[in-house]
Structure 1
Amino acid sequence: MIEIKKLAKRFAVDNPKKLSEQERRDPRLKGRFFHSVQDVSFSCDNGQVLGLLGPNGAGKTTTLRILSTALKADSGSIFIDGEDVLQNPIVARKKIGFLSGTTGLYGRLSGRENIAYFGQLHGMSKSQIEQRIDELADLLDMHSFLDRRSETFSSGMKQKTAIARAVMHKPALVILDEPTTGLDIMATQTVLEFIQRLKADGTPVIFSTHHLDEVSELCDRVTVINQGTSCFDGSLDEFKQLSDGNLHHSFMQALAQGESYVASV
C-alpha cells in the first residue's frame, strides 16, 4: 500500500521577468518561488490501479518524480508498505519501479542489455536476470526486437523496453508517467494488458494519463490534481458520480471544485 499526505514542492525562479504571461498569472508563483506541488494527498492499496489526472502543468509529473525519489519534497509524507520514502529514499527505491516521461535508453545497447543492466543495479544474479527478461519479453511481446540496438527502436519498442526495465526487480509499487503517449493501438493495448497483469498480481500501480478511456478500463481509484493541489481523490465510481457518469464531465467538475477551493483559501 502507498499513502501520500500533504505533499509539497517549490522551485526557485531565477529571473521572474523571463516568465511568460501565463506563468506570471499562475497563483502558485509566489515571490521568487513557484510552488509546483502545494497540497497533494492520495492512497492506493495493493492490487489497485490509481489514475492520476490533471491539466498540463498541474503538478502530476513533479508528484510522480517525488514518489520515485528523483526529487526531494519540501514537506509531506510518503509511505510504501510502512516504509518512509522521504526518510529512507535508498531503501524505498528498491520497492519502486518508475517509468518517466522519457525512456532514456542507452542507444548503443540492445533492449536485452538495457534491461539486464538495471537488473544488475538491483543486485539480481545472471540467472535471475535471464529468467526475468524472458518472462517480460513474453508479457510485453518483445522477442522480435529484444536483441537489436535500442537506437533503431520505434516509439512502441522503446516504451516496452523502458517498462520492462522499470519492473525488472518486481517492485512493490509501479509508477508510470503517461505510459501510452505516442504509441500505436497495438502497442497501447499491450501496455494496458501488462498493467492489468500487475494489478492481478497484487502490485499497486499509479499512472498519469490524459486518456479517460484508459481510466475507465483500468482504474480502481482516481486522483485529480489542479494547480498543485489534489482536488479529488476517490474510487472510480465516486468520480463518475461527480456528473452524469461521463468521465469527461466528471473531470471538468473536479477541476471546477478545485478552483473554487483555491479561490476560497
Structure 2
Amino acid sequence: MEQHTSNMQNSFQENNRPLEIYLFIDPFCTDCWSLAPLIKKLQLEYGDYFTLKYVLCGQLAALNSKRPLDFANFPRLKQQAGNRRIPLQVSSGFDQETFTPHLAALSIKAAELQGKRAGTKFIHRLQELFFMENADISDINIIQQCAKYVDLDMEEFIRDIYSVSAAKAFQCDLKISLEMEVTEMPSLVFFNENIEDEGLKVTGLYSYSIYVQILTEMLEGYPSPSEMPSLELFLTKNPIIAVNDLALIYDQPVKQMERQMKKLQLQQKVKKIRAKNGIFWKYIANSM
C-alpha cells in the first residue's frame, strides 16, 4: 500500500491535475463496454481535471452483480441520483463460460509497456473485436492482428506478452484490486490530491450526469467543461463507433446523429458496418 500511495503522489506531481481515477475493468463484460463512451465523453469535457488509470480485475469475464451506488458521502447527490442506471444495449454471442482471457490480459499489459496511449488504444480495439466481430481474443493470432491495427512495435509486443514484466504488471493490477476491495465490474475509484484521504468507490454503470456530479463534489466546485471536438475530428481518433454512443457523447437525439452520419456517408467519409451486435459506423481514413 505504501508503494501504491507513493505512485499516486508521483502521478499528481507529474500531471498537475487535482484528481486521479482508477478505472477497474473486465474489458470483456458488457457493462464495461457500455461504460466506454461515457469515459470518452468525460475525458473530452473534463480531462484537464483528472488522470485515468486502467486496472484489470482478476475476475475477468465474470457476470456483474448489481448494487446501488453509495452516496453516503455525497448528500447533495443522493437526492438527485436515485437508482438510475443505463440499460445494457450490448451482449456478446461468444461463449463466456468457456472463454479463457489470461493471454488477452497479458497482451493488454504488454501493450501498456509501449505507453499509456498505446495500451488504451489496444484495449478499445480488443473490445471491438470481441463485441463487434465476435472474435476469440484469447487466440494469439487475433491478438497480433489487434496489435498491428493500433501500430504497436510487433517484435517488442510479442516479446513482452511472455515476459516477466507483463506478468508482474498484471499481478500489480490484481493487488490493487485486492487492496481497494474491488470485486465488481466496472468500478471507478476517485482520489483527490490529499493522499491521506480515502478514495470514493463507484461500482456499476450510471448516467453521465452522475459522474460529472461526483467530479463537482470532489473538486468542491463546478468544473468548466472543455469544448467538444468536431464530429469528424472525433471520428479520426475513434474510427469505429455506434450511433447511440455518438449521440450520448454529443448530447444529441439519435435520429439527429444518424442524419449527420448519413451526410458523411454521402461524402464517402464513413461507411456503415453491420456486426453481430448491431450497426456501427467506420470512418474512412483516406477521405480527407
TM-score of the pair, normalised by structure 2:
0.24
Larger % of helix: which?
Answer: 2
TM-score of the pair, normalised by structure 1:
0.25
Larger % of strand: which?
Answer: 1
